[in-house]
Amino acid sequence: DNLSLPTLSKKGVTVANAAGANAVAVAELTMAHLLNLDRRLVDQVNALRQGSWQRLKFAKGAAGLYGQSLAVLGVGHIGTEVIRRAHAFGMDVRAWSRSLTEQEAQHLGVRRCATPADAVDGAYALSIHLAFNDQTRGLVGKYLLRRL
């Protein structure tokens, strides 16, 4: 996305898409971010660095991931890997993707939603794994985020 293909082509450099090559790494990072947000790990580390141990303060707001619902928008390579990891944490996953079939949703163990809004309604967290293009531009905004 950040390469000048005409320039590289003139210089004899071939560029190829390696779809899914980093899907596992991105999914793992996604789960790390979910844990961080739930447990406020960065805030805890900063407090510790300042010499303050505030276990009860940070424990109050943590709901944990187990039993929580995760909305996944985009069920390609990365979205699929996120779903697998969310299940390992005991999360209830609902998903929307333009190409997600009911059969594939059943195979992945997710509730297939007809629209992004249906997926997000009441979810504890939202994980977005969609290409940014004309079809997805503006898909996520106040209207969708207020439904969490």
Measured distance CA(85)–CA(83) in Å, rounded: 5
Averaged confidence pLDDT in the chain: 92
The mean pLDDT of 54-74, rounded to a whole number, is: 91
> Can you give the pLDDT at residue 90?
98
Give the burial string for 28-46 (b: 16+ CB within 10 Å, else e): eebbeebeeebbbeeebee
> Can you give the pLDDT at residue 64?
93
> Can you give the pLDDT at residue 133?
85
Confidence tier at 71 by pLDDT (50, 70, 90): very high
pLDDT surpassing 60 at residue 135: yes
> Can you give the pLDDT at residue 1?
57
Please give, one letter per residue, the 3-state secondary structure of 50-104: CCCCCHHHHHHCCCCCCCCEEEEECCCHHHHHHHHHHHHCCCEEEEECCCCCHHH
> Can you give the pLDDT at residue 47?
92
